[in-house]
Amino acid sequence: MELVHMLGDSLVSNWPVWFVSVVLVVAAVIDGLQLRVPNWLTFPLVISGWIYSAVAGHLTGDGLVTGLGWSLFGTAVGLGLLLPAYAIGGMGAGDVKLLAGVGAWVHGEATFYAFCVSAIVGGVLAIGMAAWRRGLRKHALQAQMILSEILIIRNPAQLSEIAAERKPSMLLLPYGIPIAIGAIVYFAWAGMLVG
């Protein structure tokens, strides 16, 4: 019974992180089924994060502007971490907006670490998917070719065109799944879900 009480207290005191976690799970399921994270999920996540942070900053005495500032910084961190991959055609816009929404709620530092864990999860899932389909060598060569193109071409528009042409032959990873897993694992490890 004490465990239920403790969990209830954690849900109440850490509800913003639980809310973000639930949205991440919904986004991962949709991305897994449709290979996209919809705007009806990402835009409200970002905007509600700004509102929450501004109000929370005001209520805690840090100030409305300070709370909103940290939220905007977190949004910028989320965008900045995934925009380069999006710019060269390696990721969908919904994934970028999803991480920006995480940043709006949990701010910059937590977003950065959640991204790092998500990148590891994404790499493991990508290797697992390629191995499952017995295409590990093919996809390793594609990854090597993509890295080479990035280093040689360096023009995001041209890289994006090449990625669009290559897309039908690629094994696509719905990146909302690694973002959700990585962020929630980081939240748990950092004690943001309980305490």
For 91-102, write each residue's pLDDT tens digit.
Answer: 899 999 999 999
Which candidate, 38, 123, 183, places its Cα nearest to that of 131? 123
Each domain of the chain, given as residue ranges in start order, spans 2-189
Give me the residue label for tokens 């939240």. Answer: 187
CA distance 160 to 41: 25
CA distance 53 to 20: 13
pLDDT at 18 over 80: yes
pTM of this prediction exceeds 0.85: yes
pLDDT band at 2 (very low <50, low <70, confident <90, very high): confident
pLDDT band at 160 (very low <50, low <70, confident <90, very high): confident
Q: What is the pLDDT of residues 54-93, one digit of tens each?
A: 999 888 877 778 999 999 999 999 999 999 999 888 889 9
150 residue type, one letter = I
Give the per-residue pLDDT at 192: 94
Give the per-residue pLDDT at 7: 64
HSE-CB at 193 with a 13 A cutoff on CA atoms is 13
Q: What is the pLDDT of residues 115-145, one digit of tens each?
A: 999 999 999 999 998 888 887 787 778 778 8
Query: What share of the chain has pLDDT > 90, as a percent?
Result: 59
Query: What share of the chain has pLDDT > 70, as a percent?
Result: 94
pLDDT at 4 over 70: no
Give the per-residue pLDDT at 102: 98
CA distance 173 to 14: 30
pLDDT band at 9 (very low <50, low <70, confident <90, very high): low
